[in-house]
Every structure is written in C-alpha cells, then in structure tokens.
C-alpha cells in the first residue's frame, strides 16, 4: 500500500479540520463513566499537533450501535468531558439536528479550539455512506483527517464518503498503525512468529494465507485450537468444531507442509466441564480431552513452549487470546503469552480488540512495540485487504 499524506504534510492554520476519530469507548454498566479511555488518549497527538498549528478542530466519532436513532446513553458528552480533562482545554459538543447549528458554532471557533460532533450513528445515513450526508459533513470543514483506524475497514460517510469532497490525509495514529502493521507485512525481522487465538479458524484463515510466504511459525491457541487437534485425529470432547472449521485446519496443515513454516498446536490444554466461569477445570494432554468437556485454554507446557518461541522472535504479531481469558481459571495461557511478548527484544504488535484488552488488563500494553486500536481493521489489514478508510486518503 502506498504511503499516505499525513497532517504533517499540510497547512492547517486558520482552517476548520474535520477529524474522524474512534471514540467508541466502553462505559461502566449503567453509567456514563468511561471504563477505558485508551482510544481517546491514542488520538491526542493528532489533536495537539493540529491545535498547535492553529486549526479549528472538529472531531467526529460513533459510539455503540444506536442504529440510526438518538439513544441518550450513547451521546458524546462524557467523551467531550474526558477530552477536556486530557487536553486541559474546553471541548464543546456540537449539535447538528437541523443541519445548520454546527456550521454556525464552528464559524465562531478560534484557532486551536476543539469541538466534538454528536454521535455520527444517530444518523442512518452514516453507515449507508449516503452522499448527501457525506457532503453535509464535508461542508463543516476545509480539510479531512482520517485518524480512526478501528473503523477504516468500513466504507461509511465519515470514513470514505467525505473524502470525495475534501482534501483528505491521515492522522498520526492512522500513520503509526499503517507503518507498524505494514512493517509486519512487508519487512518482518526473523524469526517471524504469529500467535493466533479466538474462536474460529475461519476468522483467521485470511491472515494465515496472506502471511504464509513470510512467517516462520504460527502458534495456535484459543477455541480454534480444537479444530487443529481434531485435524490431528485427537478427541476434543464437547468442543464445537464443524466440518468447515476442520477443513480450514487441515488446509493450513497442508499449507505448512508445502510452505516451510511451522504450525504449532497445543500439546496440553486446560479443559472445563461446562462453559462457565465456575466450571471445574483440569490440565490434560491434547490427545486426552475427556468426553463432554471443553477445551478452554492452552496448557502450561504449551504456554511455556509458546513463550520460548516468542522470546526468540525478531517480529511477533498476536491476534486473539489463548483461552477464555476473562475467567481466571482459563486466563493463564494468555498471561504467559502476553508476558513473553513483553519480554521479547524484537518488534511486538498486538492486533486490536480482545487482545489489546488483555494486554491492558495485564498491565503489559506499554511494553509492546505497538498495540493496534483496530480489531476488525487490523485483521483485514493483515489479510492483505484494502481498507476503504485508508485507500481514500491522499497518497504521499
């Protein structure tokens, strides 16, 4: 993918700049208290750079899934309040219910001021990439900055549509995401190890196929490990593996035999007698999962072996927890893998979503080279797919 122009390459002094950020933050249940503000913090370098160069900054984001209607609990006010604290300056929220109000408010902003539009997904036209809505967004500014890597795989009005009407460049977060993930795709230092977890092989098959010609080893954990164990003719108890999943696992093993890379499945696993945080658990050989039990995590021997491969790697990409990491009894594999990445002297890249959450919960995120803010976006990027919200930005 061609390198993209960034906010460093343009003159923004005195101009209104529309910045698509990803402030889809989690809240404590039943409250408007933000439980994790890492996505807000990730955007601050871009906001501060634009502010210091005299731009009038109009941030826009979605929160949750209001499905084209106003949902009071999904308003952006709590995010604006947190931004005000982090930036040390007032961040006002802009109402645009009548299509005029926001324009008037923006015209009264001073250089360096920051404002936040109301939740984009209150408008059904956002997700349908409606041209009129995209034009309305574009009319608010002179320049567009795409800094929401987490939504770059969606062709929405605020990620792709608006770029047809404004000069459009990447923010600093977007640029860093593309640089770090691009390095893993194009010039990884070897040994290049990819750690894959999560529920299904189907969700990761694109990554495996795209990286097969440059990877040295895939380490397989999570629910998807059961498919690889079944492909090795092991009994997997009650772990759900359909024919498609089994077929994917067998295809990957065949690819490894032809491609000269290793696919390392667990040799021991932690099983549970039911899918529950209070389930009875036991460590068993991967070839001896009891009937009726579920594979819930990689076992201690497997975790130690994965850790050795990770610590020796030149580049590690990790996408997907090793087990049901939100439950203590089945979190050990994820903890050991996370610690190994933190100890690795090579480049360590975490691919978004639950993997990033695990790293933050373990207190290890700041010891990784890069923690991606994109879940689905980072996965699609590693699959080699074009991301509409990236392709639409100007090339450097």
The residues annotated as belonging to the active site are 39, 200, 353, 376
Bridge partners of residue 370, in order along the sequence:
349
Cβ-based burial of 301 (10 A; exposed 0-12, middle 13-18, buried ≥19): middle
How many other C-beta atoms lie within 10 A of the C-beta of residue 174? 30
Q: Characterize 345-363 residue by residue with b for buried, 16 or more Cβ atoms within 10 angstroms of its Cβ, and e for exposed.
A: ebbbbbbbbbbbbbbebbe
- Residue 337 has phi, psi (to 5 degrees) of -65, -45
Contact yes or no for 269/223 (Cβ under 8 A): no
Q: Cis link prior to 191 (omega < 30° from 0)?
A: yes
Bridge partners of residue 145, in order along the sequence:
19, 169
Contact yes or no for 313/280 (Cβ under 8 A): no
Coil, strand, or helix at residue 174? Answer: helix
**Alpha carbons 74 and 251: distance in angstroms, whole number:** 43
Q: For the CA atoms of the chain, what is the radius of gyration?
A: 23
Coil, strand, or helix at residue 337? Answer: helix
Residue 240 CB partners (closer than 8 Å, separation 6+): 226
Contact yes or no for 189/346 (Cβ under 8 A): yes
How many separate helices (H) and strands (E) can be counted in the chain? 15, 15
């Amino acid at each position: 993918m061609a390198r993209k122009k960034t906010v460093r390459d343009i003159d923004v002094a005195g101009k209104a700049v529309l910045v698509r950020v990803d402030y889809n933050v989690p809240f404590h249940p039943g409250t408007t208290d933000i439980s994790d503000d890492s996505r807000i913090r990730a955007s601050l370098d871009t906001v501060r750079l634009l502010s210091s160069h005299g731009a009038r900054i109009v941030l826009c984001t979605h929160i949750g899934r209001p499905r084209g209607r106003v949902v009071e609990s999904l308003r952006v006010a709590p995010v604006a309040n947190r931004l005000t604290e982090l930036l040390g300056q007032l961040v006002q929220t802009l109402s645009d219910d009548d299509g005029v109000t926001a324009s008037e408010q923006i015209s009264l902003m001073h250089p360096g001021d920051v404002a936040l539009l109301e939740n984009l997904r209150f408008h059904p036209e956002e997700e349908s990439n409606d041209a009129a809505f995209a034009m309305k967004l574009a009319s608010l500014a002179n320049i567009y900055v795409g800094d929401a890597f987490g939504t770059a795989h969606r062709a929405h009005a605020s990620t792709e549509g608006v770029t047809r009407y404004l000069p459009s460049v990447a923010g600093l977060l977007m640029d860093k995401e593309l640089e770090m993930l691009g390095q893993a795709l194009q010039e990884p230092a070897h040994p290049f190890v990819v750690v894959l977890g999560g529920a299904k092989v189907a969700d990761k098959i694109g990554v495996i196929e795209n990286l097969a010609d440059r990877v040295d080893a895939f380490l397989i954990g999570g629910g998807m490990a059961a498919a690889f164990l079944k492909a090795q003719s092991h009994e997997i108890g009650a772990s759900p593996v359909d024919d498609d999943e089994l077929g994917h696992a067998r295809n990957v093993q065949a690819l490894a035999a032809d491609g000269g890379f290793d696919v390392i499945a667990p040799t021991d696993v932690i099983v549970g007698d039911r899918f529950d945080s209070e389930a009875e658990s036991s460590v068993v050989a991967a070839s001896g999962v009891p009937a009726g039990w579920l594979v819930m995590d990689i076992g201690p021997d497997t975790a130690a072996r994965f850790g050795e491969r990770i610590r020796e790697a030149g580049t590690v990409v990790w996408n997907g927890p090793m087990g049901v990491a939100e439950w203590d009894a089945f979190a050990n594999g994820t903890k050991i893998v996370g610690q190994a990445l933190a100890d690795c002297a090579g480049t360590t890249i975490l691919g978004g979503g639950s993997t990033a959450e695990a790293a933050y919960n373990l207190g290890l995120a700041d010891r990784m080279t890069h923690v991606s803010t994109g879940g689905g976006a980072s996965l699609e990027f590693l699959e080699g797919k074009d991301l509409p919200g990236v392709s639409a930005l100007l090339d450097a």
